[in-house]
Chain A
Amino acid sequence: MATQEERIQELISRLQGAPQGVSSSFTAPPAGVASSLLPGQVAIPRTQAGSFLDITSATPMQQPVAPATPPPLIPEPQTALDLFKAFDSPFLPEIIEPPSQLFEGTDDSLYAVPRGITRGALQTGLSMAEGLFSIADTVTSIAGYEDAIDRDTSEFFKDIQEAKEYVGNEEGMVGKLSQGLGSIFAFALPGLGQAAAGARAATLLASGPAKLNASKRMLGLAKGLGGIKYAAAGSAGAGQSSAMLEAFKQAGGDYTVGQRNLAIALGVPIGFLELLAPEMVLRGIPRGIANQTKSEIIRRLGEAGTTGVG
């Protein structure tokens, strides 16, 4: 039986390997080990790529570099299915906001007031066009010619929408107020023209029978402008209804042709309501006051408003 000392010696010799002078049979590979694993048959370079020695020897690292292949170009989408070609990446790009189109950039009242009024007037003008189109669509639809005007395919309707987007809307408080004011101006102008023509007709009539014909013509003009005033207000109301329907549709809502016709028809009287404010203001000024004084009052009110919001 081996003693403690012999066992320790055996362990040391096992850890240190075969002692010098031992026959070659000990250095021969044991049976079952493939000869290709022998160290003598493996060509090991002095330094391996990426190793510490390789890096310190200042030789460039040799890494397998795949040839750079740009992703294949995607042609312009032709069908609805082509729109899904960018769904292969789980990462979404940062959204690029389109630049604002109409002299945007400041909420300073010096710019915001005229800009807002201009925008309001332009938007109302476009709303009137949209309203007239929608009323025509409603009328033809009720008359049984549903396909006569199709707002989904109409170029005119599309152009109006694009123009409205181009004009844009105010974002600041001053701009929004001014835009509201501008929208009233757009259809109050015929009303103001009507009042002016009526006053002129009365003046001509008072100046004598020689001006009777001129007075009648002026009165006719006043009536015409009055009609335009109501038509403008009604169509603007219908246009607003149409715009709201469009926004509802964009948000994923759906409506029937009947619901659309009803909304457009109800928009017309709502548009008339917008005339109430300017009419009440104009009628509230006593008749005894001279026209020049009235103009001065309106001018001062405008200045006060501009200064107040600034």
Chain B
Amino acid sequence: MALQREQLSLKADVDNNFAQQYVRGAQIDVNRSLNKLIKELATNYQNVPASVTDTRQRLAQARAVLDKTLNDDARVGDLQVLAEYGNILNTIALSDDQDAALQAFYQSPQGSFLDLNSLGSKLAP
């Protein structure tokens, strides 16, 4: 129940752009959610069956599993965070100059409050 309340609060934060409006609580919530989603995505990636060898397909599988988990658990806030940042982060990840794109993102209103270490953090082998 507490989880559901947090998720609704997070959804409201993202829907109303509270984080961009310097609401500190919303910024913390979005950061926490994004970090959690990254961890889950990394775990899902490692748990993809070894029969799937192509990296793109493995990443897509990890994303599909995450999407299913979020929907099954009705994590509406996390879903909203993913909808807000998924495409942006994809564009940055696929850009030729990833560092420059990431720097520009951190200077934008949507990325200015995000944890600088989370997106660039190295994945465990």
Q: Which residues of A contact B (CB under 8 A)?
A: 71, 73-89, 92-99, 250-254
Q: Is the CB of B47 within 8 A of A98?
A: yes
CA distance A92 to B65 in the complex (A): 9
Q: Which residues of B contact A (CB under 8 A)?
A: 3, 32, 36, 38, 40-43, 45, 47-49, 51-52, 55-57, 59-65, 67-68, 73, 75, 78, 86-87, 89-90, 92-94, 98, 102, 118-123
Q: Is the CB of B102 within 8 A of A93?
A: no
Q: Is the CB of B86 within 8 A of A80?
A: no
Interface Cβ pair total, 8 Å cutoff: 105
With A80-B38, A81-B120, A92-B64 already in contact, the answer to whether A74 and B52 are too (CB < 8 A) is: no
What DSSP secondary structure best describes chain B's contact surface?
helix
Q: Is the CB of B123 within 8 A of A77?
A: yes
Q: Which single residue of chain A is at the shortest CB-CB distance from B118?
A: A80
Q: Is the CB of B55 within 8 A of A83?
A: no
With A84-B86, A88-B90 already in contact, the answer to whether A98 and B55 are too (CB < 8 A) is: no
Give which listed residue, A78, A96, A252, contacts B52 with CB less than 8 A.
Answer: A96
CA distance A96 to B87 in the complex (A): 24
Q: Which chain A positions have C-beta within 8 A of B92?
A: 81, 84
- Looking at the assembled complex, report how far the CB atom of B44 sits from the nearest CB atom of chain A, in whole angstroms: 9
Q: Is the CB of A81 within 8 A of B89?
A: yes
Q: Is the CB of A79 within 8 A of B119?
A: yes
Q: Which single residue of chain B is at the shortest CB-CB distance from A71?
A: B56
CA distance A250 to B59 in the complex (A): 19
Q: Is the CB of B56 within 8 A of A92?
A: no
Q: Which chain B positions have C-beta within 8 A of A76?
A: 55
Q: Which single residue of chain B is at the shortest CB-CB distance from A80?
A: B38
